[in-house]
Each structure stands twice: as C-alpha cells, then as structure tokens.
Amino acid sequence: MNNITRLKADLKEIHDDPPINCSAGILNDDITTWEATIIGPENTPYESGVFKLLINFPSNYPFKPPRVKFDTRIFHPNINKQGSICLDTLNKNWSPALTVSKLLLSISSLLSEPNFDDPLDIRAAQIYKKNKDEYFQTAKMYTSKYASS
C-alpha cells in the first residue's frame, strides 16, 4: 500500500467514524497536508476550546510518523510555543498500525493527562508543580484567548 492509498483510507476512517471531539481533513487539495480540530476535553482547563492542528505526512507514511503541530496557541507542558508536541507516539513509539484517528485520540488524551515528567514547555510544568491553581488559570486563559469558537 502506498502512502496516498493509506492516506485515503485514514481520511475515510476519520469521516465515517470520527473520534470523540476530533475531526480532520485535507488542506488546500493536498492529501499530504491536513488540518485537524480537537475540542478540549471536559473537566480540563481546555474544556470547550477549539484547537486547530496541522498534519504533514512524509512520503514514507505510514512507516514514518506525520509531523503534527498545534496551530492554536495552548499552555501545556507537552506542547511548546511553536506548537510542537512531545508525545511518544509521534516519535520512538510510532507504529504503521496507528491511524490519524488514533493519533488524534492520543493527542486529545494528552490534554486530559499531561506528562509533567517529560515536558517540552518546562515553564508550564514548573508552574504546575509549584502552583496547580496558577497552572489551571493560565491554561484556561490561553484557551479563552486563543481557542474560543
């Protein structure tokens, strides 16, 4: 299966059976570039926020992971100011069995359960460890400012 065939299969899967609070589709008629949306999970500082992500697929996808970045600013220990995401699934734990739907669910789970021990945004992790209330207030403020629908 070449990467275009696989991308079409991933696209069909996400349209036919979208993961909870997630969607994705082709951007600018280029099947190797997608825009995705994740709705912030309930009971998190990201609740009800609408987060846009950009997904770029390499020519050797699914054998290599896509590059996924948040296009919407977010205050999170595993996502930096440039939108890069620290998630094992996007790096050393990538598997060709993973689809875009599963990947978006993993990123959505990261919003619910940040990994404070492996931060990409060290400041966010430090604030959480020192003062959880300040962390939640800052994350909510970012969500309100940048991710309002």
- Contact indicator for 124, 77 with CB cutoff of 8 Å: yes
Give DSSP secondary structure letters for 4-54: HHHHHHHHHHHHHSPPTTEEEEEETTEEEEEEEEEEPPTTSTTTT-EEEEE
Distances (CA, A) of 7 to 17, 24, 25, 37: 15, 12, 10, 17
| Active site residues per annotation | 86
The number of distinct structural domains making up the chain is 1
> Global pTM?
0.94
- pLDDT by residue (tens digit) across 17-57? 999 999 999 999 999 999 999 999 999 999 989 999 999 99
Q: For residue 69, give the CATH number of its domain.
A: 3.10.110.10
Query: Model confidence over 135-147: pLDDT tens digits?
Result: 999 999 999 999 9
Q: Which domain holds residue 66?
A: 3-146
